[in-house]
Amino acid sequence: MFFDVLAASAIGGILCLDRVVLQVMFARPIVAGTVTGILLGQIQTGLVVGALVELFWIDRSQIGTIIPPNDTMASIIIAAATILTAGTSGHAPRELIALAVLLFIPLGLLGRQVDILIMGFNEKLSREAVEEARSGRETDVLRKISAGLIKAYLFNLCFLLGLIFIATEVLRMIYPVLPPKLFSQLTLIYCFLPLLGTAVALSTVNMKGEIPVFCGAFLSLLVLMDVF
Instruction: Return the domain boundaries, the chain.
Output: 2-111+157-227
Residue 24 has pLDDT above 70, yes or no: yes
pLDDT digits (tens, 9 = 90+) for 185-227: 888 888 777 766 666 666 655 555 555 555 555 565 565 555 5
pTM of the model: 0.81
**55 or 156, greater pLDDT:** 156
SS3 66: coil
> Helices 94-104 and 211-227, interaxial angle, to 10°?
140
Instruction: Please give, one letter per residue, the 3-state secondary structure of 131-189.
Output: HHHHCCCHHHHHHHHHHHHHHHHHHHHHHHHHHHHHHHHHHHHHHHHCCHHHHHHHHHH
Residue 19 has pLDDT above 90, yes or no: no
Report the distance separating Cα 133 and Cα 58, nearest Å: 37
Residue type, 152: A
Half-sphere exposure of 189 (CA within 13 A, CB side): 17
Task: Check residue 81 and give its pLDDT.
Answer: 94
Amino acid, single-letter form, for residue 225: M
Given this model, what pLDDT does residue 202 score? Answer: 63
Give 74-121 as a DSSP string. HHHHHHHHHHHHH-SSSS--HHHHHHHHHHHTTHHHHHHHHHHHHHHH
What SS3 state is found at 128?
Answer: helix
pLDDT tens per residue, range 112-134:
888 787 777 766 766 666 666 66
- What is residue 215's predicted lDDT score, i.e. its pLDDT? 59
**pLDDT, average across residues 39-60:** 83
pLDDT at 67: 75
Mean pLDDT, range 94-104, rounded to an integer: 89
Confidence class for position 164, pLDDT limits 50, 70, 90:
very high
Choose between 65 and 164: higher pLDDT: 164
**Ordered DSSP codes for 6-58:** HHHHHHHHHHHHTTTTT-SSTTSHHHHHHHHHHHHT-HHHHHHHHHHHHHHTT
Least confident of 73-82, 94-103, 211-220: 211-220
Contacts of 28 (CB under 8 A, 6+ apart): 50, 54, 71, 72
Q: Residue 218's pLDDT is what? A: 58
Rounded to an integer, what distance in angstroms lies between the CA atom of residue 82 and that of residue 20?
27
Contacts of 146 (CB under 8 A, 6+ apart): none
Lowest-pLDDT range of 7-11, 61-65, 147-151, 207-211: 207-211
Calculate mean pLDDT across residues 59-73. Answer: 72
- pLDDT over 70 at 82, yes or no: yes
The whole-chain average pLDDT of the chain stands at: 78
CA–CA dist 220, 48 (Å, integer): 10
CA torsion through residues 47, 94, 79, 83, sign: negative
